[in-house]
Chain A
Amino acid sequence: MTDQPIAPSRRSLLSMIGGVAGSAAMYHAMTEMGYADESTFKGPVKLSPPPAGTSVLILGAGVAGMVAAMELRDAGYKVQVLEYNGRPGGRNWTLYGGDTYTELGGFTQKVGFDPGQYINPGPWRLPYHHQGILHYVNRLGVALEPFTQVNFNAYVHSTNAYGGKPQRYRQVQADFHGHVAELLAKTTKQGALDQSVSKQDREMLMVALQNWGALNGNYEYGKSIETSLRRGFDVDPGGGLNSMPVPSEPRAMSDVVQSGLWAAIGASCNYEMQSAIFQPKGGMGMIGKAFGAALGPLIQYNAKVIEIKQDEKGVTATYIDSRTGGEKRTASADWCVCTIPASILTQIPMNVAAPMKNAINQLSYSAALKVGLQFKRRFWEQDDHIYGGITYTNQPNGTISYPMWDYFSKGKGVVLGAYTFGQAAYLAAAKSPEDRIQDALEYGSKIHPQYRQEFDAGVAVAWHRVPWTLGCAGAWTEPARAVHYDNLCALDGRIVLAGEHASRIPAWQEGAVTSSIDAITRLHQRVMSA
């Protein structure tokens, strides 16, 4: 390594580190997904028995609605749930082979996956610290398995880097850490940090950088057994004769920086992406199904709510059959927990005061897309040795995730071929499901050339076309939250709202659970003080 003027490169280095370290912090600024407060779940709800016969009408049999129904029922309330769909779960939803899904506009997809193969169009992972949803998963006896967020052998890919050839995650991470460590070590040695770091700290920092970046005795990052133990070998060590390993050559500093691929490394540092993460065996929808089974006849399915009215005596919801329309029916109770998404609720006449009304009216729902692709064989395992985890790309499909079950199966497998938000998701929603699938195949084949030959069946869910949400999740901005959030959550007469949109963990099921528990706890206090 030649000595070069450090100041400018250090400056750009630090801004680059800021970009990467900041990508975890960036999640906090995320307007479409909200920010990631720790769950407020404090253990099982304990509600004292209410006055005999007190009733609660719950609108929506998603996670929030069913948590409310279960806890209120167990406390002794008379509970009824109205649900638009013909199944429990709401956005807790799995599409299996044989299912049919019709989105707005009448575009119908018959899911051509094999039995047992599936895709989760909505939530797909359960972080270890989401203790609320995990509590109900355990209470309902839903079996979990590990969700692999980071797979060091998966790819990171940019059409603008390395000729569009995908790179292994471990190589990008090792090279990025190694080069940053080398630069910082050089900077430290040259005294540039003397004013801000004590001598003792500098000595320890040098050891740490050597350790962290796999630097050699001269604090350099280069081709060696040590660095190959991070980034992988050209030829792995083996047994017996001819077993010498051949180290691999790290990418040059400038290439690593200019590739932009480091953006994918920071992506997995987010609190919500940290191990351990779980998924229900057999699909996320297993949770909704278990809730539904536990509540049984308390849920009235295929009920489309068209009006919600409260007076001093109680709350009445008017509904029709969501499939056939037909005559209006009503359901009444003393109180109401409404978990209908704000995007739908804004269109339903409901006599609440202006603060809650305004809060509902200002909340639109974000765009999101998921595409599931079934392939005839698990080539990512057989050819690429990728077992679960996620590949990142700068293409509009954003994410490719490999099935985290049935590893080494000789049969078919379903890959999440696209998972996107923002612009890419808006563009996809305007396309036919078939075109969304074709796009996912086109982008994916740039990373996995096996795609075209092995493709078998696909399904695409663009959330703005989902008939019962009109979007993925409440798209809060922080300024809007400051004005409207408390008003959305506050009890209005006999009605309280709940759901991920009434939480600070939006788009996560934990938000739905904690919102629901908070709402019913306040409702119960109100009942008991009446």
Chain B
Amino acid sequence: MKIRTAIATTLLLAIALPTFADTAAPTPPPPPRRGLGGFGGGPFPMQDGEAIYKGVCQGCHMPDAKGAVGAGMYPALVKNENLETAGYPVGVIVKGQKAMPPLGPYFTDVQVANVANYVRSHFGNKYKDKVKPEDVKLMR
């Protein structure tokens, strides 16, 4: 696990530069820092849809995408009919939903599109239409 951006992000944020050049919103206040590292925001390092799934999403949805059950549950993405509408996973990823945290700040539009397309074409899901980065931008 290499986070090439970690220290660069630390320094950038410390002098209150915008985190994301492409956001239209006013510059947010710098995120808090209690140390040098380990608190990072900013886009995840991987780009490919499969790499994003394995690097991030499977933390909750699990390597086999079957979800998990404890006191609460993480939904399975296997043959998940909610994925039929491409906007659904994009919205959930960017804005969050219930226990699912809003991950928009951690992803670029391209990354969201890539991972949404990966999930919609794997784990028994066979949706042909593709999410484009522009679709993600509209969701933010």
Contact = CB atoms under 8 A, between A and B. Distances in A.
Which bucket holds chain A's interface residue count?
35 or more
B111 to A, nearest CB: 12
B98 A462 contact: no
B124 interface: no
Contacts of A494: none
B11 interface: yes
A393 B37 contact: yes
A227 interface: no
Contact of A426 (B36, B56, B63, B70): B56
Which bucket holds chain B's interface residue count?
35 or more
Interface string B26-39: 00011111111111
Interface string A262-306: 011011001001000000000000000000000000000000110
B57 interface: yes
Given A344-B72, A426-B106, A159 B15 contact: no
Given A430-B58, A470-B74, A471-B99, A424 B40 contact: yes
Interface stretch (A41-49, A214-222, A395-403): A395-403
A430 B74 CA distance: 14
A467 B15 CA distance: 39
Given A15-B15, A26-B30, A159-B7, A398 B55 contact: no
B58 to A, nearest CB: 5
Contacts of B74: 104, 470
A23 B33 contact: yes
Contacts of A393: 35-38
Nearest to A390: B35
Given A267-B33, A397-B37, A104 B55 contact: no
Contacts of B60: 104, 429, 464-465, 470
Contact of A29 (B15, B30, B54, B73): B30
B7 A260 contact: yes
A492 B104 CA distance: 32
Interface in B100-114: 100-103, 106
Contacts of A395: 3, 6, 37-38
A347 B42 contact: no
Contact of A364 (B32, B40, B98): B98
Pick the most buried of B10, B33, B74: most chain A CB atoms within 10 A of its CB. Answer: B33
A340 to B, nearest CB: 8
A224 interface: no
Contacts, number: 198
Contacts of B70: 84, 104, 466-468, 470
A51 to B, nearest CB: 33
Contacts of B63: 105
A157 interface: yes
Contact of A263 (B14, B55, B98): B14
Given A26-B32, A475-B101, A426 B41 contact: no
Interface string B44-60: 10000000001111111
Pick the most buried of A30, A104, A465: most chain B CB atoms within 10 A of its CB. Answer: A104
A467 B71 contact: yes
Contacts of B34: 23, 27, 267, 270, 273
Chain A binding surface SS class = mixed
Interface in A338-388: 340, 342-344, 346-348, 361, 364-367
13 contacts: A19-B14, A19-B15, A23-B32, A29-B32, A104-B62, A104-B68, A158-B7, A158-B36, A263-B35, A365-B99, A423-B44, A425-B38, A429-B60
Interface of B: 1, 3, 6-7, 10-11, 14-16, 29-42, 44, 54-60, 62-63, 68-74, 96, 98-103, 106
Interface of A: 15-16, 19-20, 22-23, 26-31, 33, 84, 104-106, 156-160, 260-261, 263-264, 266-267, 270, 273, 304-305, 322, 340, 342-344, 346-348, 361, 364-367, 392-399, 418-431, 439, 462, 464-471, 475
